[in-house]
Copies of this chain bind each other. A is one copy, B any other.
Amino acid sequence: MSTPRQVESDLGWALGRVARAHLRTAQTVMGGLPGGPRGYQVLAAVARGEPASQLALARKLGVDRTVMTYLLDEIQAAGLIERRPDPADRRARRVEITEAGGARLCDLERRLRDAEEHLLAPLRPEEQDLLRDLLARLAAVDPDQASACQVAADLTEGDCTA
């Protein structure tokens, strides 16, 4: 046969598997955190103080706005963030991190770093940095632009006589 590759050499399979392993690790680390790993990213984004509004937050993290509502509900119920009215736009709410939220975030960051070290243990240190760099560069591209490449799927019908 032409290329019946091993599953192990399949990019999508490896990608999904590593991503799932990381997610599982993260879920363990984020045990009691309301939103799980996503709650962590919300917390981290809010700590940076960048987006402020719920919609901007949702767009940045790539979640639905209706999901962001009850995601923030839970995190707020845990006392890690606060929603206060935006003085400049009374429709919007400015999401701010509380002192407890900052402490929790710091702790989680430390735990996550440790857990990731174990996850990447099969790789040498310089390889770990390389992987992080490569993935970050790939993740940085605009998803809309990336999806435009899907037209490549409609190529010529090659010779596939089995």
Task: Give A residues with C-beta under 8 Å from B.
Answer: 1-19, 21-26, 28-29, 31, 37, 41, 44-45, 47-48, 60-62, 99-100, 102-107, 109-112, 114-123, 127, 130-132, 134-141, 143, 146-147, 149-150, 152-153, 155, 157-158, 160-162
Most central of A22, A99, A120 by chain B CB within 10 Å: A22
Within 8 Å by CB of A111, from B44, B107, B155, B162, lies B155
Please name the residue on chain B nearest to A100 by beta carbon. B162
Within 8 Å by CB of A106, from B15, B99, B121, B160, lies B160
Whether A41 pairs with B109 at a CB distance below 8 angstroms is no
Whether B122 pairs with A21 at a CB distance below 8 angstroms is no
17 contacts between A and B (CB under 8 A): A1-B47, A5-B109, A7-B41, A8-B140, A11-B132, A12-B26, A12-B37, A15-B22, A16-B19, A21-B138, A31-B153, A106-B160, A111-B153, A115-B152, A117-B152, A122-B140, A123-B137
